[in-house]
Structure 1
Amino acid sequence: MTPTTAPHSTHISRQFNHEMEAIRTRLLAMGGLVEQQVGNAISALIESDYAVADDVRLNDHRVNQMQIDIDEECTRILARRQPAASDLRLVLAVTRATSDLERIGDEAQKIARHAMQLVEEGAAPRGYAEARHIGYQVRHMLQDALNAFARFDTQLALAVLQEDQAVDMEYRSATRALVTFMMEDPRAISRVLNIMWVLRALERIGDHSNNLAECVIYLVRGTDVRHASFEAIEASLEEPDRRDAT
């Protein structure tokens, strides 16, 4: 199956086809907003821009409302259409994905709040380079996860899972360095802690992007890989596709 081939069935009912495509389109629109929120939050931190950070904080309700609207539409489809097989997987994958996107939005809001505190208290002496680097990595992960969902691309989803491992390593390394710095200069503890909370939020964004990639694999291959190792997932994608054809 090529990456651009939809895994869900084509139906006699054009209305059903429209409904299935509509929930995927709305999910991707939500993803676009969340991606913008993350980018703005990181920029606000790096550039000490209070206004941009406050805008991220105030826009979080838009992400929440999009999740509610998409979940309601998925519920209506389940009640009216009682989809089976690949169609059911699409609905379930969308509901899982909206949950992770909403949580990414929450993490972006946390970054914005800490950016605002740093503007008020004075910039932290350390940690901005790490935040910029990890922020770039997780934004790239989120973009790839959304593109994988748009194209039903399991190989791109697999690349996201691999990148999450690199982000986790970067996060642990940065955290150790900042803890050492605070021990050497206790006067900086309050401000450096804000940066550490930002790094934690970025790491969580990576985790949720990882979950989005797992949703793509579930949708396309019909395999739940949420608790599988990267090696096991990679091996499973090399096996013949045994999805139901209905």
Structure 2
Amino acid sequence: MRPIDYRVKGLENMLKEISRISEEIVENVVSLKATPDSIRKHIDDVREMRLEIHRNIVEIMARYQPTASDLRGLIAALEISYGLYRFSRYALDISTVLDRVTRISGASCDLRYSSVISKRVVEMVRGSIEAFLNRDKGRARAIIEMDREVDQTLFTALDEASRSANICSTLDLLILMYLERIADHSVYIANEIIEML
């Protein structure tokens, strides 16, 4: 194993940890187990890990003179770390919206679309990282395909919300829009993997 490979393995472990935290944040937000304040602490952790990944990548590039293939992987890791950070930021936005709307309105909402799609989105996040770590182009393509379900559910919720003045339908739609953005970031990661390989 080359010295650079040990450092890349360390980057991959950091990406796994950021992915785990990001998945947990999204799951907790949509299941209403998290407040904006509790999410912020986790986001700070993700941001610090992302910055550490960036510092490591710069050092690896300076010290080990990566090959073209290594360089593609390092650039993909850089992009993926940013994508995972965005996941957690979107989760904070969702948490803030949920907290404010339910607190002010007193509504107790059944987020039927968001609760179903959040599981799919977490699966996409996890799958995109697995595809990167395993250099699995087929898995990356499957992530891209999964986005169709997320988009279709968003369109269904949009149609329903346009026919309803119900605050819960509107809230469900708003959260679903954030989840759709997270899914799109998973597709972006999957496309990076396909390009890298």
Give the TM-score, by structure 2 length.
0.90
Q: Which has the larger radius of gyration?
A: 1
Q: Could you tell me how far 1:217 is from its partner in structure 2? A: 1.6
Match of 2:137 in 1: 154
| 1:101 counterpart letter in structure 2 | L
Percentage identity across paired residues of the two chains: 26
Q: Could you tell me how far 1:53 is from its partner in structure 2? A: 4.9
Given candidates 21, 27, 45, the residue that maps to 2:15 is: 27
After the TM superposition, which residues 156-175 of structure 1 pair with which residues of structure 2 at under 5 Å, given as runs? 156-175=139-158
Gaps of 5+ in 1: 1-9, 183-187, 222-246
After the TM superposition, which residues 116-155 of structure 1 pair with which residues of structure 2 at under 5 Å, given as runs? 116-121=99-104, 122-123=106-107, 128-155=111-138
Give the TM-score, by structure 1 length.
0.73
**Over residues 41-81 of structure 1, what are the superposed CA-to-partner deviations in whole Å (9 max), with x where a residue is unaligned?**
1111xxxx4x5554123321111111111111111111222
| 1:38 counterpart letter in structure 2 | V
Gaps of 5+ in 2: none
| 1:208 counterpart letter in structure 2 | H
2:113–2:172 contact (8 Å) kept in structure 1? no
Q: Could you tell me how far 1:196 is from its partner in structure 2? A: 2.5
* Larger helix proportion of the pair: 2
**Over residues 126-182 of structure 1, what are the superposed CA-to-partner deviations in whole Å (9 max), with x where a residue is unaligned?**
x61111111121111112112212222111111100001221111111112112112
Q: Could you tell me how far 1:192 is from its partner in structure 2? A: 4.5
Distance 2:139 2:71 in 1: 23
Given candidates 167, 176, 195, the residue that maps to 1:199 is: 176
Match of 2:194 in 1: 217
| 2:184 counterpart letter in structure 1 | D
State the number of aligned residues: 196
Comparing 16-25 with 200-209, greater Cα deviation is found at 16-25
Q: C-alpha root-mean-square deviation of aligned residues, in Å?
A: 1.9
1:131–1:199 contact (8 Å) kept in structure 2? yes
Match of 1:235 in 2: none
SS at match of 2:107: coil
After the TM superposition, which residues 35-54 of structure 1 pair with which residues of structure 2 at under 5 Å, given as runs? 35-44=23-32, 49=33, 52-54=35-37
Given candidates 23, 29, 48, the residue that maps to 1:65 is: 48
Distance 1:37 1:177 in 2: 27
SS at match of 1:83: coil
Distance 1:86 1:150 in 2: 14
Distance 1:171 1:215 in 2: 24
